[in-house]
Amino acid sequence: MSIELRESERLDASYIVAIRLVSTRQSDNAASMTNLSRGGLCFVSTLNLRQGDRIDIDLPASQPVATLTAKVIWCRPQRNLFSVGAEFVDMSDARRTRIIEMHRAISTYQKMNNPSGDTQQAAAEWLSLHAEKFLAGTS
């Protein structure tokens, strides 16, 4: 049995994001975010990252309007990919709160605007339309 060390609620998330390893600029432009909290996120990627690696996360993956910085906490093999947990760094409490508010708005948009069931496309649309303004004034 594992002990949950998370300080804030984990929310399911279904977004395609771009991940860039800060030290080498190696990237995955089609990583799949699986969940999100005020403290960080989990995603599935082609990158085999190491604990402590700093990464930039572009939202959405194509034509990003927001970049979040995080530190890798863990990375585990998952078939031919890697499941990664990362903690946000250099982020104000206001921006952390705004990220969760943004996620709730995206989730609502996904439910209302994806007749085909493509939640990732709906998330990319919302991010392209609203993220820059939504996150303005927070860092």
Residue 3 lies in a domain: no
Better-scored residue on pLDDT, 10 or 42: 42
Residue 132 lies in a domain: yes
Residue 4 lies in a domain: no
Residue 77 lies in a domain: yes
Beta carbons of 71 and 86 less than 8 angstroms apart: yes
Beta carbons of 121 and 54 less than 8 angstroms apart: no
Residue 6 lies in a domain: no
* Mean pLDDT computed over 74-95: 95
pLDDT confidence tier of residue 112, bands split at 50, 70 and 90: confident
Q: Using N-to-C axis directions, what is the helix angle for 119-126 and 93-112, rounded to 10°?
A: 130
Q: For residue 113, what is the DSSP state?
A: S
Range of the domain at 23: 11-139
Number of domains in the chain: 1
Residue 136 lies in a domain: yes
DSSP 7-42: SS--EEEEEEEEEEETTT--EEEEEEEEEE-SSEEE
d(CA 1, CA 92): 33
